[in-house]
Amino acid sequence: MRGNASGRAEDYLRAVYEIIERKGCARTKDISKELNVKQPSVVEMMKKLHKRRFVVYERYCGVSLTPRGKDVAETVKKRRQTFEKVLELILALKDIASKDVHVLEHSLRPETVLQFMRFVDFIAHASAIGRPKFVGR
């Protein structure tokens, strides 16, 4: 979604996606709780995302993702999971890592993110075939 929306919009799309995965539907109240923001902020962002055809939003109804919104949300979720794994691999402290993941997922270029994804896949494959694991602390 780079160039199409801010990191904040990506956070909202990922939240909608994850809520729908858990509950089957997403309401502004759910999104508000998930992102720890006020409901009027959610409504404002849903209107923007609706206008840009990332979500289907109607007042007093749930929020759903368009195919375009779902693609972006899945990409953002995968990016986030990659950085969570990288920080876990290097034994970053959990409370610090959770904040750093957010910075990384929105600030690196797609080419760099792809290399991190390949690195995580390589490490996972090496672990699966019995290669020695990194031992720290």
Same domain assignment for residues 27 and 56: yes
Contacts of residue 88, defined as CB under 8 A and 6 or more positions apart, other chains included, come to: 97
Residue 121 is assigned to a structural domain of this protein: yes
Instruction: Tell me how long the chain is.
Output: 137
Tokens 């409370």 found at? 95
Residue 133 is assigned to a structural domain of this protein: no
Same domain assignment for residues 67 and 83: no
17-52 pLDDT, tens digit each? 999 999 999 999 999 999 999 999 999 999 999 999
Counting the structural domains of the chain, the total is 2
59-108 pLDDT, tens digit each? 878 999 999 999 999 999 999 999 999 999 899 999 899 889 989 988 89
Domain holding 30, by residue range, is 7-71
From 26, 42, 71, the end of a domain falls on 71
From 23, 39, 71, the end of a domain falls on 71
